[in-house]
Structure 1
């Protein structure tokens, strides 16, 4: 057999293994509420080639290679022991099993004892309303629909928008189905014009037309005790956002922008443990704050940060003009697609709301550039303890692989990688190790982030925390706190 034929035969064998995984992944999710992943990369709804690519990506990011046979065996074992609702990392379970002397089912019963006999107490689900349906709103809708889990987790029930004229419903559905940056919606999208609903992968989303956030009776649509996600950015303080609470059927509000005043700004993975049932209005901070805060926390714990400056090279946003025209903001009236535009950012100061220990230590500014998505934060820091490029990169790589904030902090080393390679990244920020500059206590880091999708995944995590629908992550014993 030629090398060509041998390679094709090996590939077909790998495809067959991946095909055998899909029913197990689907049944665990649908029947047991189990979210399976491979070193943090979700396996749900992946195709055969998607599963093979996920295994390749794990090895490329510096994890130990996970043989397809090991993944399949763990999935079969999970079906046999039938755990309750949880988020299970198959790769980490495979690593643990390889180190044990037990039979697979005995190992899994011991490792997952806390969730093995757990009842499915997710109830009927938590109603979610998206107030606004722009860039972030539509991405949140995509993720919520993908996380539907039989309707027992967070349930996207409605979107609230201002009516844009004839054909509004069809146009809204089309914008959900097609996206110039993030590609087509994974599934089917249709409309029920009589009911004023968009139907996406079986999820009926009520479209409510309103101008006043305080005047809507959500219970008229069967929506109760909902979390309203305000992604309009029109109101950013407690007074403005509390208008939502005056509508019937609303329990809590989450803002997808930096909150002003005393509002808690939550960066998931950093200060989400401060969320309490009494918090009726919360902010998920900004995309940039989410991107840099986890990296800064890791560095401050290991080396201490004396002071620093954050410069963001940020994709243009809908707030800017396509061509030169009047704009109330400085410089933002100039064409976004033709210019680099220096502007302000509150992200550096906002870090202190999630990490009080860095209050007064950071300054920040931003340059808007002619790209539609993916931004880059340049952290210019003075540390309290000297280090080297190799040491700090190795530390951040381990943070991205093994720490409790590994879903927030990514790490990459590639001489060819550019901004579009991070479209769809689920990390809050990804450190570009090859770009690191270090001289004694002076450190410069480059952190990529998908300012749309990466931020949206962080918002979803905050939503899951607020609604107590985030599955317990296992295995816990493999999440370790790292020292540099």
Structure 2
């Protein structure tokens, strides 16, 4: 048998194993609200090839190959356990098992590692929490996709309604079409039908009422059977407490803004300060995509090295706030054609750091350049550290943070030598450290942080909503603190 034959046989064997994993992953998700992860990447609703690619990617962050032959036994062991709602990382189970010296079987090791999700420790299923989207643009539609994807057994977040301004003839059909097809993020994974008689979009069985209104005061959500809902405002029209409180109508319990909040509205970056949300807080913000990209690595660097000062330069994809062709715009430069120009503009991300990281006393400045790409941006974070270090030390530290720390859902890590922006479309992390571009000289460090400013940010929004709704389930094995 030739080497080519060996490689192909090996591939077919791994395909077969990955195929056997799919029904196990699906059943755990539907019946027990257990999300199976591989190094923080969900394997729910993934194809055979996607599962294999996710395993293959582990070599970039863990430094060695990870095969489905290694993770399957841990997945099978989970099926025999009395698990409650949780997230279980079989990549971490496989990695930590290799270093465990207790001589346990895979079954016993797995039971011990996920004990917090079992028996008396397990979280009981809660009644599903209603969610309303106010606005259905770029972020609104991606948040909708994520809510539908995460519907699971129906005991988590339930997208019940979308509120939009009336758009004329065929409005509902056109909005459903924009949810179904996306030029950047591809086809919706599932089926979508439209019931114009009831003004409803049905996506993967989720009936989503489309409500037409020009102002929050026009809607009584209880009329649609909606109660204690979390409303996600994707319009950015209202950013202070007074404006956002207009959404606190009958049926709405909390309001989450997908833009930087003003005044005393808490700006939340999940993974960094979401634990500071007060139980009785009814209005909060998820800050900006750039704030979410820079704050987690900034916190990580400050925790380890101390940060004395910093500057962030964002090279940001263009947005709908800019003009396609030169035309009047109330802001400087943004009136110039977005697909044809690099546009210097301001960013509030640096000043927003203080809200998310109040203990960081270092001054952080920032500026931004909009560039002619439709999605994925990069933040160049230049830091003066509290002590000298080396490039190898910083990279090893950030690699470890991306794998084992409480920030592993926010910070990803890549060593790909030819990585470019489009490679990160669809990333679910707040930012991705580019190892090859990292610069360190004594107490100066420059980090290049990729981020999908649409999808990665939407994932952060969902994490915040899960947290305030009480359906943010714990992850096992627990990350190191």
CA offset digits 1:445-471 (Å, max 9, x no partner):
111100000100000000000001011
Match of 2:137 among 134, 139, 158: 134
Find the residue that maps to 2:268 and give its secondary structure: coil
1:243 aligns with 2:246: yes
Gaps of 5+ in 2: none
Q: 1:94 to 1:148 in 2, by over 3 A?
A: same
Q: Is the 8 A contact 2:40 2:89 kept in 1?
A: yes
Partner of 1:453: 455
Partner of 2:406: 404
Offset, 1:105: 3.1
Offset, 1:360: 6.0
Partner of 1:275: 277
CA offset digits 1:248-287 (Å, max 9, x no partner):
1000000000000011100000001101221100100000
Per mean C-alpha deviation after superposition, the further-off stretch among 266-275 and 427-436 is 427-436
Offset, 1:103: 3.1
Find the residue that maps to 1:51 and give its secondary structure: helix
Offset, 1:4: 2.7
Per mean C-alpha deviation after superposition, the further-off stretch among 297-306 and 315-324 is 297-306
In 2, Cα distance between equivalents of 1:193 and 1:103: 56
Matches within 5 A, 1:302-381: 302-359=304-361, 361-381=363-383
1:201 aligns with 2:204: yes
Gaps of 5+ in 1: none
1:227 aligns with 2:230: yes
In 1, Cα distance between equivalents of 2:326 and 2:177: 29
Offset, 1:169: 0.2
Per mean C-alpha deviation after superposition, the further-off stretch among 367-376 and 58-67 is 58-67
In 1, Cα distance between equivalents of 2:304 and 2:178: 44
CA offset digits 1:328-379 (Å, max 9, x no partner):
1111111111111111111001011011133560111110111100001111
Offset, 1:120: 5.9
CA offset digits 1:216-245 (Å, max 9, x no partner):
111111110100000100000000000001
1:149 aligns with 2:179: no
Find the residue that maps to 2:216 and give its secondary structure: coil
TM-score using structure 2 length: 0.97
Partner of 2:51: 51
Partner of 2:287: 285
RMSD: 1.4
Q: Is the 8 A contact 1:63 1:401 kept in 2?
A: no
Per mean C-alpha deviation after superposition, the further-off stretch among 459-468 and 391-400 is 391-400
Offset, 1:33: 1.0
1:173 aligns with 2:159: no
Offset, 1:319: 0.4
Partner of 2:431: 429
Q: Is the 8 A contact 2:381 2:448 kept in 1?
A: yes
Match of 2:477 among 449, 471, 475: 475
Partner of 1:39: 39
In 2, Cα distance between equivalents of 1:322 and 1:243: 33
CA offset digits 1:394-447 (Å, max 9, x no partner):
211111121110111111122211000010111101111211222222222111
Offset, 1:77: 1.0
In 2, Cα distance between equivalents of 1:393 and 1:381: 15
In 1, Cα distance between equivalents of 2:7 and 2:112: 39
Find the residue that maps to 2:264 and give its secondary structure: coil
Find the residue that maps to 2:230 and give its secondary structure: strand
In 1, Cα distance between equivalents of 2:427 and 2:352: 23
In 2, Cα distance between equivalents of 1:451 and 1:376: 9
1:10 aligns with 2:13: no
Per mean C-alpha deviation after superposition, the further-off stretch among 396-405 and 224-233 is 396-405
Matches within 5 A, 1:74-89: 74-89=74-89
